[in-house]
Structure 1
Amino acid sequence: MAEQIEFDQAHQTLQEVSDALDNGRFVFVRRQLQSMEPEDIAHLLEASPRKSREVLWQLTDPEDYGEILDELSEDVKDNLVSKMAPGKLAEATEGMDTDDVAYVLRSLPNKVSREVLSQMDAADRLRVETALSYPEDTAGGIMNTDVTTIRGDVDIDVVLRYMRMKGELPEATDTLYVIDDDDRLIGNLSLTTLLTTQPDVPVIEVMSHADEAIAVDLSDTDVASLFERRNWVSAPVVDQNQHLVGRITIDDVVDIIREDAEHSMMSLAGLDDDEDTFAPVVKSARRRSIWLGVNVLAALAAASVSNMFEATLEQMAAIAVLMTIVPSMGGVAGNQTVALVIRGLALGYIGDSNRKELLMKEAAIGFLNGILWALIIGAIVVFWKHDWMLGFIISAAMLTNLFVAGVAGVTIPVILKKMNIDPALAGGMALTTITDVVGLSVFLGLATIFLL
């Protein structure tokens, strides 16, 4: 109920701001923006047409720019950042986490990125350059270099006094990292242990050993899987020599999971997961036309099969009426398998050790469903058209196509994954093409053999 009220309030605010912009009431809009949280302003920007968005950005307090940029999708963020002077952008990044600053700078031309870096102080610049040195989709690319470290040979009381002197901790800190003289990670000290241990106890006696550090080159998807399985709030990141280079927090992992989910959902339609809802018409049309062109080729492949059996279709109207059933059933069954396999690949459930077993299982499911629906559809056709041979033909085609759909539903995503092609983007289309071609070929081929 509370979430619904909050949603309604956000929608009402959006409408009020939009109406105020249309009427030129800029002072009212500025006051509204000053009373809103950065994440709500980010939502307002993404929900506004591009012209209104630019005005809203100019009316927003520059001190909030950093936090707002951190919440925006890539397309919207790139559009706003591209119009900011390097000095203003450098000011906006003050207070942002290192990984978020690196994310913003990666979207800029190299010349602009260098100008922004030159505007930063030496310490911030070094941290950002460290993050930029790692690939974007690895632990190094998403880590935050702002970590709190302690030595293992000091007492708890020393650590407590150090914390009081420091005054504050980085956000989402639940653990302090224990390092040796060479900055190698040797253990973790949770804040709970710190607060509940006697002051005269050495840190090394109560710390947990660093056996769950994340390698700096681990992929971000694998990082998210580790956080999910082990219920971490944060985790240290180390290089190949076990030197502590940063940490990853749960808020970064939530972003990864959300982005992966959006990517899978949008890829099924051939869309970019970061596409701006109010992107320019020409830009959006160009992006979508590419995918439409690929689908045209797939449709032409299926149409060419029908064209091969044109004589059969001309002589038997019943064939033309029934020919869409077989490929349609195969497509549905195959896409169910594709979705299951893509999920398994994303979560790391499918590997070389169990791929064959999964293939056998889905083939068996396809065969059993093929028998079931072959009997049902065959009986319906016999009852409807009073033709036993036609019922047999569509049953045989149904059984064949559902079996092929089960096998293809496993093999296609696996092969695409090995070719470094996103299965979510191309798997469904490839599967549909195969089931259309196989279904039509078997159905029309058998009809040509036995009915003409």
Structure 2
Amino acid sequence: MDALYDEDFERVRSALGELHPAEIADLLESLPLEPRERIWEQLAPERYAEVLAEVESGVRTARLEQMQPVEVAAVASDVDPDDAADMLQDLPEPFIEEVLQALDAQNRQRIEQVLQYDEDTAGGLMNTDVITIRPDVTLGTVVRYLRWRGEIPVLTNRLMVVDRENRLVGVLRLALLLIADEDSKVEDHMELFPGLNARAPVSDVVTVFEQRDFISAPVVDDEGKLLGRITIDDVVDQIEKQAERSMMHMAGLEEGRDLFESVISTARRRTPWLGVNLATALLASWVIGLFEATLQQVVALAILMPVVASMGGIAGSQTLTVVTRGLALGQVGSNNARDLLMKELRVGIVSSVIWALVVALVAGLWFADPAIGLVGGCAIIVNLVVAAVAGAIIPLSLKQLGVDPALAGGVLLTTVTDVIGFMAFLGLGTVLLLPA
């Protein structure tokens, strides 16, 4: 960085030449826009593709939009088709068409094959660079074929066995070529595997790789014809992406955005969720306003209100997190949703009774009034039970509606716990503490 600010560009170019593409990507992501531009200008053009394949989507898209379609086509030709598709998907449609037209026929066909699938499906994740063999040939023939090819795609641990219609019939472990009889046939050693459907969601792909310890797996269409393969490096990227998405969605933000994008763009994306939060806060304030007379006469209730709201919010968030995670991992579905709901309800009841006793004792001693302790304890029971139920029902309902629970669940849960908590607490206070 000293060399950059000193405008010693020779040192900058030398330093960049010693860095791995992923390290350069990290550097670009961590720099404000002006220094980032100056770093990019010193990067050798032949390294554009490998660096853009590693960089965050927000930074990458901003960079690609500044390039000519012919330049983007050159970058897309130097990376795997799945990486090229990832680069192009966030660009404007007319720009994508210009890039595709600038590609040679073979690369265009490969990239278009991936682009036709949503990026969150197996088809959008697959690489079309795959080695196929026939089941009726000998292992010796396969070895000679591989030698003739001269190069094996990265992370190839299985060869795909297909029939004459290109339907997947099995997979052959590459290691068998070293230890098995070369005169034996592929069909004698291949393993049966139906392949991953190209339209399967990425979450299913992650589950299969996790359960079976795959390094690579074939992808097929609805007719069982081989389309490509998915490798473990892309699955790891998806796991990181899903984790980032869940974390960002909990705050109402998008994943993969440029850390140093313009103030206007950042504010424009954040404003809607701030508006939603304001609406829910006003709703809770309206509920409090209904009990204005009660608060004027019993000031202790105002002091204890944050306790009721906080306890309900935390309890609900615990359930919400557990259920949302279960949905994301495919562990929660229609077959066990009711059992999970009942379990969380029982947990809510047990927790609420324990903490209701604590709150009742503390509040009663604090204000020297057992009635205030009773009101606080009862409100805790109501709010924690409701929070447990809401924390389970909200993500399940959002999933049914096709809305990401991680994105909207927190806002809805906060509204429920605040409104119910304040209403139960202040309502009980009105009934039990004010004279008839």
Match among 219, 226, 236 for residue 218 of structure 2: 236
Within the candidate set 292, 312, 315, 2:297 is matched to 315
Q: State how far apart, in whole Å, the 2-side matches of 1:361 and 1:423 are.
A: 20
Q: Shift in Å at residue 111 of structure 1?
A: 2.1
Alpha-carbon separation, structure 2, partners of 1:142 and 1:285? 31
Unaligned runs of 5+ in 1: 1-17
The residue number in structure 2 matching 1:153 is 136
| Residue in 1 that maps onto 2:228 | 246
In 2, Cα distance between equivalents of 1:124 and 1:380: 71
Contact between 2:166 and 2:226, CA under 8 Å: does it hold in 1?
Answer: yes
TM-score of the aligned structures, taking structure 2 as reference length: 0.98
The answer to whether the 8 Å contact 1:397/1:443 transfers is: yes
The C-alpha deviation readout for 1:93-144, integer Å capped at 9, x for no partner, is: 2231111111111122222212211222211111111111112211111101
AA at the equivalent of 1:444: L
Amino acid at match of 2:82: D
Query: Which of 9, 18, 27 in structure 2 is aligned with 1:44?
Result: 27
Distance in structure 2 (CA, Å) of the matches to 1:132 and 1:273: 21
Residues paired across the two proteins, number: 434
- Partners of 1:340 and 1:125 lie apart in 2 by 43
Whether the 8 Å CA contact 2:49–2:78 is kept in 1: the answer is yes
Written as runs of structure 1 = structure 2, the 5 A alignment for 1:254-333 is: 254-333=236-315
TM-score by length of structure 1 reads 0.94
Q: CA deviation at 1:81?
A: 0.3
Give the aligned residue type for 1:332: I
Q: Is 1:369 aligned to residue 351 of structure 2?
A: yes
- Cα contact 1:64–1:92 (8 A) shared by 2: no
Q: Which residue in the other structure is 2:360 paired with?
A: 378
| Contact 1:156/1:199, CA 8 A, preserved across alignment | yes
Answer yes or no: is the 8 Å Cα contact 2:203–2:330 preserved in 1: no
Residue 393 of structure 1 deviates from its aligned partner by: 0.9
Q: 1:428 aligns with which of 410, 413, 417?
A: 410
Query: What RMSD in Å do the two structures reach over aligned CA positions?
Result: 1.0
Amino acid at match of 1:371: V
SS in 2 for 1:324: helix
The one-letter amino acid paired with 1:406 is: A
Identity of aligned residues (%): 46
**4+ long deviations beyond 2 Å:** none
Q: Name which of 199, 205, 220 aligns with 2:188.
A: 205
Deviates more, 1:115-124 or 1:68-77: 115-124
Give yes or no for contact 2:295–2:302 (8 Å, CA) kept in 1.
yes
Distance 1:240 1:384 in 2: 68
1:415 aligns to what SS in structure 2? helix
Q: Distance in 1 between matches of 2:85 and 2:159?
A: 24
How far 1:230 moved relative to its partner? Answer: 1.1
SS in 1 for 2:269: helix
Instruction: Tell me the residue number matched to 1:131.
Output: 114
Amino acid at match of 1:289: T
Q: What is residue 13 of structure 1 aligned with on the other side?
A: none
Match of 1:140 in 2: 123
The answer on whether the counterparts of 1:366 and 1:402 sit within 8 Å (CA) in structure 2 is yes
Which residue of 1 is the match for residue 161 of structure 2? 178
1:245 to partner: Cα distance? 0.6
For the residue of structure 2 that corresponds to 1:45, the secondary structure is helix
Residue of structure 1 equivalent to 2:98: 115
What's 1:34 paired with? 17
Aligned-partner SS, 2:430: helix
Deviation at 1:91, TM superposition (A): 1.4
Which whole-Å CA distance do the structure 1 matches of 2:92 and 2:250 have between them?
30
